[in-house]
Structure 1
Amino acid sequence: MEIVVRPLLKTDWAIVSKIYAEGIATGLATFETVVPDWSVWDEKHIKDCRIVAEINKVVVGYAVLSEVSKREVYRGVAEVSVYVSELYRGKNIGETLLQGLITESEALGYWTLQAGIFSENLTSINLHKKCGFRIVGIREKIGKLKGKWYDNHFLERRSKLI
């Protein structure tokens, strides 16, 4: 099974939005409850550092960066999002995407990547740790979803190149 990583294109939105909806449905991937339209999603994510993973020319996952702040001092700091289709989880696609995103982000001058992950989402926490992220802390009751408070593990990865 060959995983091909390439830039995410607007034409990928139909499948990317489906994968995002699968993540929302888990209740452990995001505090969002609905998939936005392309223009809203596009505005929320950095234009560079958007990649997809394909198997047999079918998009099976994606990874993107979001700004953590508009302030100039934080220009090299971004938040990571990685989503894999439920049919392809557990096949190293998340690791391939996250490593690809790290490489691409460093080439563009990002020195710190951050991730806020539901504390119950041990698979994602372990994936990030495997890719060089460290737990900085736990943000208790950081958000409420469907009437329940959730804690988030806050992780970061500092580039060794920048």
Structure 2
Amino acid sequence: MDVTLRTATMSDLPLIVDIYNQTIPSHQVTADLKPVTVDQRRPWFLAHSANHYPLWVVQADDQVVGWMSFSPFYGRAAYAKTAEISIYLDRSVQGQGVGSQVLTLIPTQMTTVGLTTLVAYIFSSNLPSIKLFKKFGFEQWGFLPAVAELDQRPNDLVILGRHF
């Protein structure tokens, strides 16, 4: 299965929200504890810009199977070349190498939008995501112990980063 990225459009937002909401019940991927709505995510969608902090859909066989975004790391000008990366895949394609293919596309995307550094925030219990990012040269840059509570249990946040 070969994947491509294309800039997300507003018509993609319901599917983006559906893919995101698939991850919530596991309490392994996102800090949201309840499903989000398209209306709630509209401002987030509009905050992305194709020329600096883009939001893409991941396509395989002309079907949207996930999404990836670069979001501002921190709201001050000195951090403008650093972004937070988020990747979410539909459960139907997880474990099939799609995440690896998406991460292979990152260096090209980075130069296109003028970014030099990516950070990923991943719960310590999400070992598949940590392993995936480390496979592509991300290193642990930070560790925040017990900063989230999921299923009434504390969870650590691992901060991975990479310079391009």
Taking structure 2 as the reference length, the TM-score comes to 0.87
Equivalent AA in structure 1 for residue 19 of structure 2: I
Query: Which residue of 1 is the match for residue 101 of structure 2?
Result: 96
Equivalent AA in structure 1 for residue 44 of structure 2: W
Query: Which residue of 2 is the match for residue 126 of structure 1?
Result: 131
Shift of 1:126: 0.9
Query: Which residue of 1 is the match for residue 48 of structure 2?
Result: 46
Q: Is the 8 A contact 1:68 1:74 kept in 2?
A: yes
* Closer/same/farther in 2, CA of residues 62 and 142 from structure 1, 3 Å limit: same
Aligned mates of 1:109, 1:2 — CA distance in 2: 26
1:154 matches 2:159: yes
**Gapped regions of structure 2 (runs ≥ 5):** none
Aligned mates of 2:128, 2:28 — CA distance in 1: 11
1:8 matches 2:13: no
Q: Give the 3-state SS of the residue equivalent to 2:5 in structure 1.
A: strand
Q: Is the 8 A contact 2:3 2:102 kept in 1?
A: no
Aligned mates of 1:102, 1:146 — CA distance in 2: 36
Query: Which residue of 1 is the match for residue 150 of structure 2?
Result: 145
Query: Which residue of 1 is the match for residue 21 of structure 2?
Result: 21
Aligned mates of 1:68, 1:138 — CA distance in 2: 16
The CA RMSD over aligned residues, in Å, is 1.7
Identity %: 29
1:66 matches 2:75: no
Q: Is the 8 A contact 1:3 1:93 kept in 2?
A: yes
57-66 or 99-108: bigger deviation = 99-108
1:53-84: CA deviation from partner (whole Å, max 9, x where unpaired): 21222100111011121211000111111001
